[in-house]
Amino acid sequence: MIAAALTACAPESVDAQHEGHAAGNVPLYDNLGSHSYVITTSEPRAQEYFNQGLRLYYAFNHAEAIRAFRAAAALDDRCAMCWWGEALSYGPNINLPMDSASGVAAYAALREAQARIPYANPRERALIDALATRYAEVPPADRAALDSAYMRAMAALAAQYPEDNEIATLYAESIMDLSPWYYWERDGSPRPQTSELLSALERVVERDPDHPGANHFYIHAVEAVDPQRAVTAAERLAGLMPGAGHLVHMPGHIYVRVGRYRDAIAANEHAVHADETYIRDQNPAFGIYVAGYYPHNYDFLAFAASMIGRREQALGAASRIIELQQEELLGAPGMTFMQHHRTRRLQMLVRFGAW
């Protein structure tokens, strides 16, 4: 798995990740938009850190989200949802399965959230109860049963609170996590539950057009078969969280599929700037975000530039991918996406006849 490979090649223990998570060591960013979800807390800054954690979770910067949730918990010892956010962030997602170390950390954070249930409101208790179906004290080798149980719990919660945008968005994500990147059959017909996850996300966006998670997940859900369907989501997402490089990049997934190559170039240039600023200022540990999401911007930049004949830009972006990679990771289990990234320069050389 990707997480295991990163742990083996650039180790950072769960305990080490938790060091320095006191609120004073975690910045409150001013470039992540204004999305919020009101929780039970007596400390306004804990609410701010919680909001930041949720935004970063939706931006797939899970390690940074954990830092924010842990900072929120440090400010309010009774905050059950602060620990819920951390436990949520350790879970699997469409790009990264869950390794045993994350399973242990997720369960520990969940137990902290459960210990604070007396201070939570009924909706928060329900969210914690639903998340409890996702984890086990001893992480299993096969997560299928837990992931399915969590999806069913989120479905029930979405039915109980039909106007709650966070619950609906997380419910849609729980469906996506059951079959990452496989939402449509080869003939373009939806797989079981694809229509349900799309409906859930569309209802969220109807109520809150600027919801970062719903727009992000919607792009991924339709890009393979009907990218035109998510053009509006792409255009919205571009400016919602300018400091979150992956969300800035995400419109490119649609733009390259509908022929808007210049827009795809611009999106990924902005994403590179956002990620390089974040890496320079915060010096995050070498993990999936730095190893995968950051170079992914250059991969899209190279492809989009090649589609309109920008030879030097395409070759430059493809070369930058190689500069950013650590060769010892290329053969590690679960890291095949890096091999794909590395071949982009060869593809560009062939495309421009530069052999």
> What was the pLDDT predicted at 328?
78
In a domain? residue 301: yes
In a domain? residue 39: no
Q: Indicate the number of domains in the chain.
A: 1
Q: Residue 133 is encoded by which pair of tokens?
A: 């179906």
CA atoms within 13 A on the CB side of 16: 10
Which residues are CB-contacts of 265 (< 8 A; sequence separation ≥ 6)?
Answer: 301, 304, 305, 308, 310, 313
Spatial distance between the Cα atoms of 130 and 231, rounded to a whole number of angstroms: 33
Average pLDDT rounded to a whole number, residues 172-200: 98
Kindly indicate the confidence band of residue 337, based on its pLDDT and cuts at 50, 70 and 90.
confident
Kindly indicate the confidence band of residue 286, based on its pLDDT and cuts at 50, 70 and 90.
confident
How many other C-beta atoms can be found within 10 angstroms of the C-beta atom of residue 114?
Answer: 18
Q: Answer whether residue 30 shows pLDDT above 50.
A: yes
Query: What digits encode the pLDDT tens for the residues 342-354?
Result: 899 999 999 999 8
Share of the chain residues as helix, strand and coil, in percent rounded to the nearest 5: 65, 0, 35
> What was the pLDDT predicted at 287?
83
| Residue 12 Rama label (left phi>0; alpha psi -120 to 50; beta) | beta
In a domain? residue 103: no
Spatial distance between the Cα atoms of 346 and 318, rounded to a whole number of angstroms: 8
> What was the pLDDT predicted at 333?
62
Tell me what percent of the residues of the chain surpass a pLDDT of 70. 92
In a domain? residue 68: no
> What was the pLDDT predicted at 276?
98
How many other C-beta atoms can be found within 10 angstroms of the C-beta atom of residue 12?
Answer: 16
Report yes or no on whether pTM surpasses 0.85.
Answer: yes
Query: What digits encode the pLDDT tens for the residues 71-119?
Result: 999 999 999 999 999 999 999 999 999 999 999 999 999 999 999 999 9
> What was the pLDDT predicted at 8?
35
Provide the 8-state DSSP code for 184.
Answer: B
Q: Residue 124 is encoded by which pair of tokens?
A: 């928060």
Query: What digits encode the pLDDT tens for the residues 147-179?
Result: 999 999 999 999 999 999 999 999 999 999 999
In a domain? residue 274: yes
Q: What is the enclosing helix (H) or strand (E) of 222?
A: helix 212-222
Average pLDDT rounded to a whole number, residues 180-189: 97
Q: Which residues pair with 96 in a beta bridge?
A: 93
In a domain? residue 139: no
- Please give the residue that has the higher pLDDT: either 20 or 293: 293
> What was the pLDDT predicted at 22?
64
Tell me what percent of the residues of the chain surpass a pLDDT of 90. 85
In a domain? residue 35: no
Kindly indicate the confidence band of residue 321, based on its pLDDT and cuts at 50, 70 and 90.
very high
CATH of the domain at 307: 1.25.40
> What was the pLDDT predicted at 342?
87
- For residue 310, the enclosing domain spans 242-355
> What was the pLDDT predicted at 80?
99
Cβ–Cβ < 8 Å for 134, 147: yes
